Amino acid sequence: MMSGSKNVARAQETAKPLSPPIIVAKNLTKRFGSRLAVDDVSFSLDAGEVMGLLGPNGSGKSTILRMLVGTLRANEGEISIAGHDIVTSGRFARTNIGYVPENTPLYDSMRVTEFLQFMAGLKGLRKQQVDEALERVCDQLELNDVRRQPIHTLSHGFRQRVAIAQALLSSPPLIILDEPTNGLDPRQIIECRNLILSLAGKHSILVTSHILTEIEKIADRAGILLHGRLLAVEDLRNNPDAGDLESRFLALTAPH
Amino acid sequence: MLVKEFAAIYYSSVAYVVAAVFMLLMSYTFCAQLFHMRSASLAGTLIQAATLLLLTVPFLTMRQFSEERRSGTLELLLSSRADGLAIVMAKFLATFSMLTFLVVMVLAFPLTLSFISAPDWGPIVSGLVGLLLLGGALSAIGLAVSVFTSNQLVAAVLSLGIFLLLWMSEALGVFFGDPFDDIAVAISLDTRFTPFVTGAVYLSDFGFFLSLTLLGILLSVAGLARR
């Protein structure tokens, strides 16, 4: 087992980014009243990298993501997305993000095409770009058969695809997915995992899960969270000596 | 954004139920005034329209942000390039357009009256302008309330409470000493609206309703930003 600071240091040593990190989060702290939801969390994500945030429910994963996309303000700390501060240059920072929130919130009364057109407009795509982007994401996520269907008639798997499709509309360099395999059946989980793997390299990806094996199969690095604290950042690709993620997770999160 | 909000209002059955009930009650008031009280004045009808706005606006604004918060779609909006003001303005304009539709329907009563007599159009026009100003202020306050809760019912009840308190604050002013009694009168929606139906249009009343509208919009934007 390695301490959090050692892991962060090791990750910084082993990763030799060609371009500056797409996410730099420094000393993030978030309180809801007297409850400390996120406690002094720092990490970075390099271009093209897939990082997983792993932790039990209530460990602060979604809160961190909401601060990263700018829908929740941190009490302390700084966030930079592609060099833009999320507070002072929020609009520029958000242009670089495709975000898939937890539980796939969509406008159920809209048809798939209608929803994607609406989201493309919100992302600032011009009219001629919208059609091209729609064709691309519908092909990529195999949504062509359900394009005219109202969203409320879709299965959970298709809803998840639509949610990911809206995140990809503007081809952002960073994709953030909050518990993307929640509520999916085994086949849909495999499809979702393969989709995320297919996006890796072209996009930097930050994904949360409370399912250990999902993170292990998808991510290059895994941040382990408990009670709002980032206990360690494990390198899953370049550290064969460190043992499997399960034993490291159990050791780190064992009650004292 | 604007198209989506207009569609959300006009594809919703709530808006049409609200419009139908509003017109039914307005028609009853108009007929009662005309045939039972034998009065050709529309002042009572316009004041009735204002009190009905107090009761109907909460049903139009309750779901605006509350529903987005409950379903999680507010995360999608706020994580996009759209800024808070654009989101709030789209929702405000959609609600206000529905209220404008209601006010235009109220025009049916003076038009009906004009077939059998010659109504004084000055107070009628100023009364309709007053209704629009009141509707704008109520929409903005209702939106601000819905920003702070994910429960539609709580949003509706809170809005209704605030509207009634503001409407009755003149009457409540007698319970307070100086200078709070003057403040209670100054912020009373009733005090500010009534001159419009008599044809007396004061710039201060215009400014009051516009300020209230602006305050509601700014509170909504601030509420979104402080999450």
Q: CB-based contact (8 Å) between A129 and chain B?
A: no
Structural contact between residues A77 and A27, judged by C-beta atoms closer than 8 angstroms:
yes
Q: Which of A51-60, B167-176, B200-209 has the lowest mean pLDDT?
A: B167-176
Q: What is the mean pLDDT of residues A91-110?
A: 93
Helix (H, G, I), strand (E, B) or coil at A239: coil
Q: CB-based contact (8 Å) between B211 and chain A?
A: no
Structural contact between residues A178 and A147, judged by C-beta atoms closer than 8 angstroms:
no
Nearest alpha carbon to residue A29 among A40, A43, A17: A40
Q: What is the mean pLDDT of residues A53-74?
A: 93
Q: Look at residue A13 and tell me whether its pLDDT is greater than 60.
A: no
Listing from the earlier edge strand, what are the strands of the sheet with A76-81?
A35-45, A23-32, A76-81, A84-85
Average pLDDT, chain A: 88
Q: Give per-residue pLDDT as tens, A193-209.
A: 999 999 988 899 999 99
- Measure the CA angle with vertex A166, ends A163 and A172; round to 5°: 125
**Residue A8: pLDDT band with limits 50, 70, 90:** very low
Crossing angle of helices B84-106/B121-147, nearest 10°?
A: 150
- Which of A71, A91, A109 is nearest residue B75 as measured by Cβ atoms? A71
**Residue A236: pLDDT band with limits 50, 70, 90:** confident
- Domain edges within chain B: 2-225
Contact assignment for B227 to A71 by CB distance below 8 Å: yes
Contact assignment for A91 to B4 by CB distance below 8 Å: no
B34-56 as b/e: b if 16+ CB within 10 A: beeeeeebbbebbbbbbbbbbeb
Query: Is A4 or B152 the better-scoring residue by pLDDT?
Result: B152
Contact assignment for A107 to B4 by CB distance below 8 Å: yes
Q: Which of A235-239, B85-89, B96-100, B199-203 has the lowest mean pLDDT?
A: A235-239
- Match domain A4-96+176-253 to its CATH number in 1.10.3720.10, 3.40.190.10, 3.40.50.300, 3.40.50.720: 3.40.50.300
Contact assignment for B82 to A118 by CB distance below 8 Å: no
Tell me how far apart the alpha carbons of residues B144 and B66 are, in angstroms, rounded to a whole number: 10
Note the pLDDT of residue A9.
43
**Residue A256: pLDDT band with limits 50, 70, 90:** low
Kindly report the nearest CA distance between residue A71 and chain B, in angstroms: 6
Amino acid identity, position A30: K
- Domain edges within chain A: 4-96+176-253, 106-171
Q: What is the mean pLDDT of residues B69-78?
A: 91
Q: CB-based contact (8 Å) between A210 and chain B?
A: no
Q: Look at residue A18 and tell me whether its pLDDT is greater than 80.
A: no
Note the pLDDT of residue A180.
92
Structural contact between residues B65 and B217, judged by C-beta atoms closer than 8 angstroms:
no
Q: CB-based contact (8 Å) between B38 and chain A?
A: no
Q: Which residues contact A50 (CB under 8 A, 6 or more apart)?
A: A196, A200, A204, A205, A207, A218, A219, A220, A221
Query: Is B63 or A42 the better-scoring residue by pLDDT?
Result: A42
Q: Look at residue A66 and tell me whether its pLDDT is greater than 90.
A: yes
Contact assignment for B76 to A101 by CB distance below 8 Å: yes
The four Cα atoms B52, B58, B63, B66 give a dihedral, to 10 degrees, of 180
Q: Which residues contact A110 (CB under 8 A, 6 or more apart)?
A: A118, A150, A151
Q: Look at residue B17 and tell me whether its pLDDT is greater than 80.
A: yes
- Which of B4, B78, B81 is nearest residue A71 as measured by Cβ atoms? B78
Note the pLDDT of residue A98.
95
Q: Which residue reads 């930079």 in tokens?
A: A80
Crossing angle of helices B203-225/B84-106, nearest 10°?
A: 140
Complete DSSP assignment for B37-49: S-----HHHHHHH
ipTM over 0.85: no
Helix (H, G, I), strand (E, B) or coil at A205: strand
Tell me how far apart the alpha carbons of residues B119 and B199 are, in angstroms, rounded to a whole number: 13
Tell me how far apart the alpha carbons of residues B160 and B58 are, in angstroms, rounded to a whole number: 6
Q: What pTM did the predictor assign?
A: 0.85
